[in-house]
Amino acid sequence: MAGEINPGDIVNRIIKKLGNLPSGYPNPRTFIHNFRSVVERDNVYDPEIVAIGFYNHQKDYLKDMENFKLIYLKRFLGRNKYESDNNVNDVPVKESASSTNINVTASSSVKQSACSSVKVEGHVKESAESSVNAVVCENKNADKIVKAVVGMEERARKWYGGRTDRARGSDFVEMLVIDGCFLIELLRCYGLDNWRDPNDPIFRHESILSQLRHDIVLNENQLPFFVLNDLFEMTKSKDPKDDLIHLTLCFVEGMFLDLSIPGNLKFVKPDHLLGLIHDVWVLPFATNNVERNNQAAIGKWENINSASELQKTGIDFKISQDFNSLMDITFARKCLGAKLKIPQLNIYYETESQIRNLVAYEQYLPDGNPRYVSDYTFFLHCLINTSNDVELLRRSGIIGNWLGNDEEVSLMFNRLGKSILTSSKFSYSKIFSEVNMHYHSHRKKWWAELWREYFDGPWACAKFLAALTLLGLAISQTIFTIYPYYHPRKDS
């Protein structure tokens, strides 16, 4: 299929689109109607403002972002290394006002090439010549990038699972180029110093940035990681922070389920950006899960009851303070009671979308692969049946409810649990077995009922002590009454 593609035609189409860009940035107010449609649509798998990759490319409500993509592509092409053997850093220069008012780059060492005819001496010189040479650079770099993506076209089609058969080769390659360069430029503008344009509305409106964060981690809004990585490596600078995995994690850190960036990222081999976030998020749990998986192979396990039902049998719910992952759940049995310790999970508006897309990604992993997020989600689904369960977990500090309504949280977990496929070696099978063993113990049920009736709360305890005192007095009175009968007093 790649043999039918003419890279020159694709380059000409891209350069024509860049030449037709209006000056300046699109008005961010064009996204206001998108926000309303997002709320009304309420689909956790659909992007809010930007289409990335093949699946959402034809959706009309996402077209407003296309000019932003082209602006970022133009900037990306300007920042590209201009010679394949060029080993020096790129130096930012500005285009003249006749262009789109965005930054491009020129090499500081290749003096004879058309891309480096602007002399750079510690600062940027604006000139009409720089604008002309920037266009030459864009053509040259677009040609290099398009040819590289054409070489990956067949592999990328297979990555999408054959659903791209009706897409023309040139259109498919153009989509990979524009979307891939946009993503890389977005990540660099966010994570690298002195990279972004101070007038860029994406970074001046937190709502747009938040929507972009949401969109790039949707399961059906992805590009193959090998395409992104190759484009990134072709344009990599000497900045130690200029690393695709690191920049991606920086971009979503703080908004994605308490994600933290590990020190060593060399082991990560993601399928796409969502896969990257998944692998990093489950890493602390997976690292310590070898023993847990061995224990999980004990055989069949049964679902556990809801939190409210478990509490009735003496199981206390406590927030875990010592954990490496949100999924680190422990169960400890005492003499008559038990304690289930769970790290706090904060529930925000975007939490359902994040969990659903991680679960969707796991559902199509090859058989035998652990599905840690699915296991964790199923655990919480079992605990949460009604708003009473949410209230119990919220009062215990385990659930942080930022939706403001316990019923909403319970409905969310009821939805999350539908048709979920857990790991073949369920991560929590040992805990489920121990919880059920405790739950079905008649002795522990009896003790829990006794404790709840007579010791649960200060008034219940006071009533018990009063009853115990009365019982003691009654026994004493009885003893004093019958004692003379069995031990009559002897007269002297």
DSSP at 489: P
Q: How far apart are CA 73 and CA 79, in angstroms?
A: 10
Is 244 within 8 Å of 228 (Cβ atoms)?
yes
Q: pLDDT tens for residues 56-71?
A: 998 998 998 999 999 9
Tokens for 303?
């679902």
Q: What is the mean pLDDT of the chain?
A: 82
Q: How far apart are CA 417 and CA 381, in angstroms?
A: 6
Q: Where are the domains of the chain?
A: 2-252, 286-446, 457-492
3-state SS assignment for residue 206:
helix
Q: What is the DSSP string of 246-278?
A: HHHHHHHTTTSTT----S--TT---SSHHHHHH
Q: Please determine, for residue 98, whether its predicted confidence score (pLDDT) is greater than 80.
A: no
Instruction: Give 3-state DSSP helix, strand, coil % of the chain, rounded to 5.
Output: 55, 5, 40
- Buried-exposed string 340-373: b where 16+ CB fall within 10 A, e elsewhere: bbbbbbebeebbbbbbbbbbbbbeebeeeebbbb
pLDDT band at 133 (very low <50, low <70, confident <90, very high): low
pLDDT band at 474 (very low <50, low <70, confident <90, very high): confident
Q: Please determine, for residue 423, whether its predicted confidence score (pLDDT) is greater than 60.
A: yes
Cβ-Cβ contacts under 8 Å for 260 (sequence gap 6 or more): 253
Q: What is the DSSP string of 211-235?
A: HHHHHTT-TTS---HHHHHHHHHHT
Identify each DSSP E strand in 276-323 by its residue range.
315-319
Q: pLDDT tens for residues 329-338?
A: 999 988 778 9
Q: Please determine, for residue 381, whether its predicted confidence score (pLDDT) is greater than 60.
A: yes
Choose the weakest-confidence range: 74-83, 178-187, 203-212, 213-222. Answer: 74-83
> What per-residue confidence (pLDDT) applies to 79?
72
Of the candidates 125, 173, 107, the residue with the CA atom closest to the CA atom of residue 146: 173
